Amino acid sequence: MSVLKGIIPPMITPLKGNDELDREGTVRLVEHIINGGVHALFLLGTTGEAQSLTYRLRYEFVELVCRQVNGRVPVLVGITDTCIDESIRLAEHAKANGAVGVVAAAPYYFAPSQQELIEYYTALADALPLPLYLYNMPSHVKVFLEPSTVKVLAEHPNIIGLKDSSANMNYFETLMYTLGDRDDFALYVGPEELTGECVLMGADGGINGGANMFPSLYVEMYDAAERHDIDRVRELQRIIMQISTTFYTVGKYGSSYLKGVKCALSLMGICDDYLAYPYRKFRHEERERIRKALEAVESKIK
Amino acid sequence: MSVLKGIIPPMITPLKGNDELDREGTVRLVEHIINGGVHALFLLGTTGEAQSLTYRLRYEFVELVCRQVNGRVPVLVGITDTCIDESIRLAEHAKANGAVGVVAAAPYYFAPSQQELIEYYTALADALPLPLYLYNMPSHVKVFLEPSTVKVLAEHPNIIGLKDSSANMNYFETLMYTLGDRDDFALYVGPEELTGECVLMGADGGINGGANMFPSLYVEMYDAAERHDIDRVRELQRIIMQISTTFYTVGKYGSSYLKGVKCALSLMGICDDYLAYPYRKFRHEERERIRKALEAVESKIK
Amino acid sequence: MSVLKGIIPPMITPLKGNDELDREGTVRLVEHIINGGVHALFLLGTTGEAQSLTYRLRYEFVELVCRQVNGRVPVLVGITDTCIDESIRLAEHAKANGAVGVVAAAPYYFAPSQQELIEYYTALADALPLPLYLYNMPSHVKVFLEPSTVKVLAEHPNIIGLKDSSANMNYFETLMYTLGDRDDFALYVGPEELTGECVLMGADGGINGGANMFPSLYVEMYDAAERHDIDRVRELQRIIMQISTTFYTVGKYGSSYLKGVKCALSLMGICDDYLAYPYRKFRHEERERIRKALEAVESKIK
Amino acid sequence: MSVLKGIIPPMITPLKGNDELDREGTVRLVEHIINGGVHALFLLGTTGEAQSLTYRLRYEFVELVCRQVNGRVPVLVGITDTCIDESIRLAEHAKANGAVGVVAAAPYYFAPSQQELIEYYTALADALPLPLYLYNMPSHVKVFLEPSTVKVLAEHPNIIGLKDSSANMNYFETLMYTLGDRDDFALYVGPEELTGECVLMGADGGINGGANMFPSLYVEMYDAAERHDIDRVRELQRIIMQISTTFYTVGKYGSSYLKGVKCALSLMGICDDYLAYPYRKFRHEERERIRKALEAVESKIK
């Protein structure tokens, strides 16, 4: 079986309130992203604020998006949780609605040892009704999925890939060296700033938050890297870095990235920019800075 | 209103399986702890593995414990969550069952800024049906509740205390200096190794995991410190440190503490030692080491 | 042999420029501190900015201070270095000038493993002409001296004590439990906010930076704790915490503590407040804040 | 002025003892590396164990290497220190011996703020007799040189480049976006695992420790990336990753990399593998593992 390749946007979750979905915004966002030519969708990741949402809302969101996508692209669903039973239950809901895979970072309250991670992921993959992608996210879950741990887990028939959001390229190169030759195990990079070089070096794609706003830009980057067009990769990289350094750096928040994406989507008329607690959306002055950053990027993308 | 003072054991959650409560064990454990003379009970904290449990089981546990306690001591319930709505919902359940307060660490997937923590806790305390205790737990939630943040939050009429599990005594001394004089704001220390000195210096009590096993030992320590009996404090400290260095250091796990407590309670015949994922209980050789540590301590406590 | 007990101020190094000692200020500071009744002096620690100084100046400082002290109190010298040969060379100079012991944190560029620390400290202690105190300073050197490592090293005949500046009281209580009964191994606490409670619990003394400014205050605290006078300990603790929360918190620097101490000593007319690179001294507005903090404390100490 | 481009090996420092240079080994190593076609040499970096060496030995090493190189390639000298005066003094020695530039990470005992880093590096660059390369090494010095800090410092006429050893590619891409267009400011990557992709994306070269052993391999990688030959880059990457995952992962040390390089050079008959304290060289079993790893790589390189 060959792996899913390309750009898989980690969808934001459009909200009207802390427990109220922006349903119209969700529909518009799905259409906006799919029109950009992306290869799949990933719901309820970090960018999707999954952990800040009630299960009720998460279930509603999976249902709504899957219905709207209606099979046009594969859908992956984040099931990261501190409670293994809740992960499994959400995966069953995802499967019932047509998702093709699930994604799970490590449990993030306790910090498990590597041996405990192996036992945890094995038990999880055994119980899941859908194939599992590992998700390395040390800044949020406090532990790395060490290469030796990934190597063991990659032998499990129901574990079929990994997304790395560490930005530590030594780590990702080690995974590509160890597992990159396998046609049945996918390696995706999280930070969009790295998609160009990772695909050049052999990665299968990018799970890039900026693709909520500019899906075709990241698809173009993926294509340029796939055909080894370095000049084009560098041109596109300048735009992606412009987004990175202007959209994601407003305010002194660890949350600047997420606030920037939601604010820009609101300015683009796609969906509400409400953020669930503990985050709050950008206000006047910050919103103006995003507006200017948006205009500057749109003038380059056309 | 004067604050709750004394030893408030953070109860472990007796389990038979990942989503199955050990109901008989829970009843025995409640009786064991209350017979030790403790001043209150705290459910669903870190020691209670709350994050690893389904909400269903958490709700069942609150109900069962509150019914068994039946008003003999006040009950506090941990509502730490990444989703504010789930925290509120659990607090309502706690109130309905007779709990008198709730305890919340910071949301632990995203790492909020201090300003975001102020907004988050304010919104939470506004919505809660019970008074709130803050819970400083930086090793697990990645952020400190800075003294200046606590000072702001302590003005909220529904925020009435703080438990510190950082083991950073500069931090705790700063809180005691800033807030220690207030009769309506409680300061508790988490690590039992520090209860003696903290109470000597003016803290209101200890939320100490070892009190699951030896409740009267920690109550004695509290009493000795309250009456400024340094010689007795030092004697008791030696036993508490013996527990700390023998029960909580088996294996190379961050989870050694939790595994040690549950293993000892199983050896004492009180409840099952099943641990929810991502942790697994001690096996043969480790269990033998706990058995010996237990015998050594019991011979001293008699 | 019984250990050195009491308050051992970690002297700041009075400077006129980056490689120029304030010799008159040094003489005044030595007299000021000794007049406060301290039990020993510690030169070239973190508070002494040792790492920021040329060896030439460090040697000059040791010579000047030892001559001025002239045997009135024991002198300890910090030899912390990344190069073991330079540590040994400085220790020889210290001995030649009459120092009675040396103090060494772990090498702080590379982060050695616990096994490497054991080998390093063993080689160092073997080669030193004076007894060695270990110095646990994880915030600056990146590694902890684990209790099991300290236990091994404490068997070395030339290693006679440890100063802990971690502020992690679980760690220090573990050391006191493991090594506190030994009459020939001293345990000192670094952060002055903790001297009261540590001495109550059995520590041998405090190496407290505030004793540069108010030596008798910390000596009083030591004495009160030694005689188990809790009421007096709490009174003194309020003044010490007032110093901690007003002198050491000006500006958003990791260096606020050091800048505050030097600024206050300059305001007291004792010595220059020049700081060696990479730090710079407080300017106008910050200096005014220290002036007010100083007046407030002086009015209480009289 | 155009910048220095290509592979600049960070030379290990061949030692016979803790304060004794392996002079014959040094001569052989210089010849071995220059014969590999490298573009410059970098002495006394992290790989050179600079911090573990006496100044005396550092000075001797600079003199010996510069004489042996004799102008065939440019020589850069590491002057990283906690004391700014010692950095300047070593730079003067470097210049006197013919070095063309110096390299400095942040002072590494105290952790300066970004503003303090700007003041420190400005003062340093003002005083230096040679142009300065910044060195971002957060794992060892505890602070990042933030992009906004680097941008300010890059305006200084005597600061002409930066080496990044963070392995955080978001950071390095941000620097390339911000400063990559400048012909007078060089950006080098430290970890050899990343040289291929960094040069593809526009970096000026690699300061790669593996080039001590296999200089021509890294030169080939640089050339392949420069001419956009992705297929060759990927082939070479597999060998480089084989080195990374077999030479640098023996033992559970943070020092495995350094021990692996020195051990391999000893097995190749080039120089002694003594390591200065706090590190110790590999012994029997570990040395055998390096021998096998070496044979496996040599069979591929021919």
Q: What percent of chain A has pLDDT over 90?
A: 95
| CA closest to D109 among chain C residues | C140
pLDDT at B118: 98
> Taking 80 as the threshold, does the pLDDT of residue D262 lie above it?
yes
Q: Is residue D266 part of a domain?
A: no
Residues in chain C closer than 8 A to B168 (CB atoms): 167-169
Q: Which of C169, C177, C237 sits opposite B194 (nearest CB)?
A: C169
Q: Is residue B302 part of a domain?
A: no
Contact B241 C173 (CB under 8 A): yes
Contact D237 A194 (CB under 8 A): no
Q: Which of these, C72, C104, C77, C106, lies nearest to C92 by C-alpha position?
A: C77
DSSP three-state, residue C161: strand
Residues spanned by the domain of B170: 6-239
pLDDT at C301: 87
Triad D92, D72, D11: Cα angle to 5° = 65
Contact A169 D202 (CB under 8 A): no
Contact B170 C191 (CB under 8 A): yes
A32-81 residue pLDDT tens: 999 999 999 999 999 999 999 999 999 999 999 999 999 999 999 999 99
Tell me the residues of C at the B interface, defined by beta carbons under 8 Å apart. Answer: 167-171, 173-174, 176-178, 191, 193-194, 196-198, 200-202, 228, 230, 233-234, 237-238, 241-242, 244-245
pLDDT at D103: 98
Q: Is residue D31 part of a domain?
A: yes
Residues in chain B closer than 8 A to A116 (CB atoms): 253, 255, 278-280
Q: Which of D85, D111, D255 sits opposite C110 (nearest CB)?
A: D255
> Quick one: how far is CA B216 from the chain centroid?
16
Q: Is residue D126 part of a domain?
A: yes
Side chain identity, residue C242: Q
pLDDT at B167: 96
Per-residue confidence at A98, pLDDT binned at 50, 70, 90? very high
> Taking 90 as the threshold, does the pLDDT of residue B254 lie above it?
no
Distance separating alpha carbons of residues B242 and B248, to the nearest angstrom: 10
Per-residue confidence at A16, pLDDT binned at 50, 70, 90? very high
Residues 6+ apart with CB under 8 A from C261: C12, C47, C209, C210, C212, C213, C247, C248
Distance separating alpha carbons of residues C228 and C231, to the nearest angstrom: 9
Residue C253, number of CB atoms within 10 A of its CB: 21
Number of residues assigned to chain C:
302
Whether omega for the bond prior to residue C191 falls within 30 degrees of 0, making it cis, is no
Burial A223-251 (b: 16+ CB within 10 A, else e): bbbeebbbebbbebbebbbebbbbbbbbb
A137-187 residue pLDDT tens: 999 999 999 999 999 999 999 999 999 999 999 999 999 999 978 889 999
Distance separating alpha carbons of residues C45 and B278, to the nearest angstrom: 43
| Across C277-296, average pLDDT | 95
Distance separating alpha carbons of residues A168 and A12, to the nearest angstrom: 24
Q: What percent of chain B has pLDDT over 70?
A: 99
Q: Which of these, B28, B37, B44, B36, lies nearest to B276 by C-alpha position?
A: B44
Contact D200 A202 (CB under 8 A): no
> Taking 70 as the threshold, does the pLDDT of residue A252 lie above it?
no
Size of interface C-D (CB pairs under 8 A): 119
Instruction: State the pairing for strand pair D20-21/D15-17.
Output: antiparallel
Q: What is the mean pLDDT of chain B?
A: 96
Q: Is residue A142 part of a domain?
A: yes
- Which of the other chains make 3 or more beta carbon contacts under 8 angstroms with chain A? B, D
Read off the tokens for C186: 């001293």
Contact C228 B228 (CB under 8 A): yes
Looking at residue B225, which CATH number applies to its domain?
Answer: 3.20.20.70
Contact B86 A255 (CB under 8 A): no
pLDDT at D181: 83
Cα-based distances in Å from D104 to A241, C50, D77, D130, D208: 27, 19, 9, 12, 16
- Which of the other chains make 3 or more beta carbon contacts under 8 angstroms with chain C? B, D
CA torsion through residues B276, B277, B278, B284, sign:
positive
Q: What is the DSSP letter of D39?
A: S
- Which of the other chains make 3 or more beta carbon contacts under 8 angstroms with chain D? A, C
- Catalytic residue among A16, A120, A121, A163, which? A163
| CA closest to A80 among chain B residues | B109
Contact B113 A252 (CB under 8 A): yes
First to last CA, chain A: 38
Q: Which of B52, B82, B106 sits opposite A51 (nearest CB)?
A: B82
- Catalytic residue among C121, C163, C248, C257, which? C163
Name the minimum distance, in Å, from the CA of C6 to any CA of chain B: 19
Instruction: Answer for the pair D45, D261: CB distance below 8 angstroms, yes or no.
Output: no
> Taking 80 as the threshold, does the pLDDT of residue B220 lie above it?
yes
CA torsion through residues C85, C90, C91, C95, sign:
positive
Q: What is the mean pLDDT of chain A?
A: 96
Give C70: exposed, middle or buried? Use CB within 10 Å, 0-12, 13-18, 19+: exposed
Element of type H or E holding C188: strand C186-189
Tell me the residues of A at the B interface, defined by beta carbons under 8 Å apart. Answer: 18-19, 46, 51-55, 82-86, 106-113, 116-117, 119-120, 123-124, 140-142, 252-255, 276-280
B260-292 residue pLDDT tens: 999 999 999 999 999 999 999 999 999 999 999
Q: What is the Cβ-side half-sphere exposure of residue D98, based on CA atoms within 13 angstroms?
A: 17
C106-147 residue pLDDT tens: 999 999 999 999 999 999 999 999 999 999 999 999 999 999
Mutant choice from D230, D236, D238, D240 vs A, greatest count of A C-beta within 10 A: D230
Name the minimum distance, in Å, from the CA of B112 to any CA of chain A: 7
C169-222 residue pLDDT tens: 999 999 999 997 888 999 999 999 999 999 999 999 999 999 999 999 999 999
| CA closest to C174 among chain B residues | B241
> Quick one: how far is CA C52 from the chain centroid?
16
Q: Which of C46, C142, C276 sits opposite D142 (nearest CB)?
A: C142
The number of domains in chain B is 1
> Taking 70 as the threshold, does the pLDDT of residue A194 lie above it?
yes
Instruction: State the pairing for strand pair B159-164/D186-189.
Output: unpaired
pLDDT at C181: 82
pLDDT at C21: 98
Q: Is residue C23 part of a domain?
A: yes
Tell me the residues of C at the D interface, defined by beta carbons under 8 Å apart. Answer: 18-19, 46, 51-55, 82-86, 106-113, 116-117, 119-120, 123-124, 140-142, 252-255, 276-280
DSSP three-state, residue A289: helix
Q: Is residue C136 part of a domain?
A: yes
pLDDT at D1: 54
Distance separating alpha carbons of residues D15 and D19, to the nearest angstrom: 8
- Catalytic residue among A121, A133, A135, A188, which? A135
Instruction: Answer for the pair D53, D236: CB distance below 8 angstroms, yes or no.
Output: no
- Which of the other chains make 3 or more beta carbon contacts under 8 angstroms with chain B? A, C
pLDDT at A286: 95
Size of interface A-D (CB pairs under 8 A): 88
Distance separating alpha carbons of residues B261 and C143, to the nearest angstrom: 28
Contact A54 B140 (CB under 8 A): no
CA torsion through residues C176, C177, C178, C182, sign:
positive
Contact B173 C245 (CB under 8 A): no
Element of type H or E holding A162: strand A159-164
Instruction: Answer for the pair C134, C160: CB distance below 8 angstroms, yes or no.
Output: no
| Across D105-131, average pLDDT | 97
Written in H, E and C, the secondary structure of chain B is: CCCCCEECCECCCCEEECCEECHHHHHHHHHHHHHCCCCCEEECCCCCCHHHCCHHHHHHHHHHHHHHHCCCCCEEEECCCCCHHHHHHHHHHHHHCCCCEEEEECCCCCCCCHHHHHHHHHHHHHHCCCCEEEEECHHHHCCCCCHHHHHHHCCCCCEEEEEECCCEHHHHHHHHHHHCCCCCCEEEECCHHHHHHHHHHCCCEECCHHHHCCHHHHHHHHHHHHCCCHHHHHHHHHHHHHHHHHHCCCCCCCCHHHHHHHHHHHHCCCCCCCCCCCCCCCCHHHHHHHHHHHHHHHHHHC
Q: Is residue A280 part of a domain?
A: no
pTM of the full structure: 0.97
Q: Which of C200, C228, C234 sits opposite B197 (nearest CB)?
A: C200
Distance separating alpha carbons of residues B256 and C11, to the nearest angstrom: 41
Q: In the structure, do chain C and chain A come into contact, i.e. share 3 or more CB pairs under 8 Å?
A: no
Distance separating alpha carbons of residues B9 and B3, to the nearest angstrom: 16
| CA closest to B84 among chain A residues | A277
Residue listed under structure tokens 């920690």: B218
Distance separating alpha carbons of residues A99 and C230, to the nearest angstrom: 65
Active-site residues of B: which are they? 135, 163
Instruction: Answer for the pair A50, A14: CB distance below 8 angstroms, yes or no.
Output: no
pLDDT at C277: 97
Per-residue confidence at A1, pLDDT binned at 50, 70, 90? low
Contact A279 B51 (CB under 8 A): no
Q: Which of these, B283, B293, B288, B213, lies nearest to B28 by C-alpha position?
A: B213
Contact C193 B174 (CB under 8 A): yes
Contact B178 C244 (CB under 8 A): no
| CA closest to A89 among chain B residues | B54
Instruction: Answer for the pair A43, A9: CB distance below 8 angstroms, yes or no.
Output: no
Residue listed under structure tokens 């106008």: C284
| Across A102-124, average pLDDT | 97
> Taking 90 as the threshold, does the pLDDT of residue B79 lie above it?
yes
Q: Which of these, B195, B183, B182, lies nearest to B6 by C-alpha position?
A: B195
Q: What percent of chain A has pLDDT over 70?
A: 99
